[in-house]
Chains A and B, each alone.
Chain A
Amino acid sequence: MKKILIVDDEQDVEPLFRQRFRKELREGDFTFYFSFSAEEAFQFISNLSPFDIVLVLSDINMPGMSGLELLKKIKADFPELKVMMVTAYGDEKNHTEAIRSGANDFITKPIDFNHLKERMLKL
């Protein structure tokens, strides 16, 4: 079972992901955790011991700590943890910044969930 942490300041991502992945959830392929800020997410990851999250899906633009900062912190402390950035700001600058900071993948909103699933399985 893959444990995935989703980080976004928009609370509606939770029903969205739960419904989109309802089959996978029902069949127990994935478990989702939700954090509504980067700070909360990092706390959550740091407290998990032994470490068993395999993937973090993070928004970039959030009040307070941004997704890119979270990415850098994760890559510094937990280099093996995979991180995928999800953002409405799909410009070149954001993209290169994310990849340079160690993001394993980068997708833009609105999210195409079929595409997302493919990418998640590849990682």
Chain B
Amino acid sequence: MHIDLKKEIKESGPGKAGLIILLLMIVMALLAPILAPYDPYQQSTASLLPPSWQHWLGMNHVGQDIWSQLVYGARTSLMVGFGVGIFSTLLGTIFGVSAALVGGIYEKVVMRIIDAFIVIPMVIIVILISAYIRPSIATLILLLSFLSWQGGARVMRAQTLSLKERANVAAARSFGANHFYIAWRHIIPDLGPILLVDFIHGVRRAIFMEAGLAFLGISDPTVISWGMMMRDALSFSYLNVWQWWLVPAGVALSLTIIGLTFISHAAEPVIEPRLRGVGIA
């Protein structure tokens, strides 16, 4: 039984749209130095200018080019998103797969820890910690990863419990294979699609969290981010600058999250084939 994630996503309309949006955002982040005409950190006396040919989206309150900020903001969002996606999926895989394979007390301990994490409201914890340590991008990635691997680990464990009953795993055991070999050669390859879906979930959650923290003003103030742009713009909402300051940042953030949601929705049947509508099996 081969699960083709690529095919699954491509065959769904929203999936395709999500993929295109995400690719656009990635291109924007990668090509930021080319796409941005000005240094987004460079302040000037020309504050709160409306859009013009020189400044496509005008200037903010300290005279920074809003378009350049928007472009560089994509870098922050995606870096945090992918960083957390990778780390939380990694942690989730390590704990989920090992719990299922090793079993016994180890499994019980891991699962209770996961339960404990899940009942703690993550947003509040993140806000509290962030307010104290004002995390840089790197620490933010680690913090969010540490708080968000548990859901994935549960799914991974459940799937591993079923995969490890397969005859090919029994066969590998009968050649003397240890847990590590079985996980690496027989379980994880078959977890592939689920890992991807878990990863995308992680990315989406992290982008949202990062924007939220920046919006609340408790992230690193020296890093340009969409959340921070929205916060700054909001304090000038009595002027009509929100049209080219607040809205583009909000739209960029929403588009990215919608794109990711579309992709993960399209990939959902991979985990739960019953969600697949009437179609070719």
> Is chain B a partner of chain A in the same complex?
no
Query: Which residues of chain B have a CB within 8 Å of any CB of chain A?
Result: none
Query: Which residues of chain A have a CB within 8 Å of any CB of chain B?
Result: none
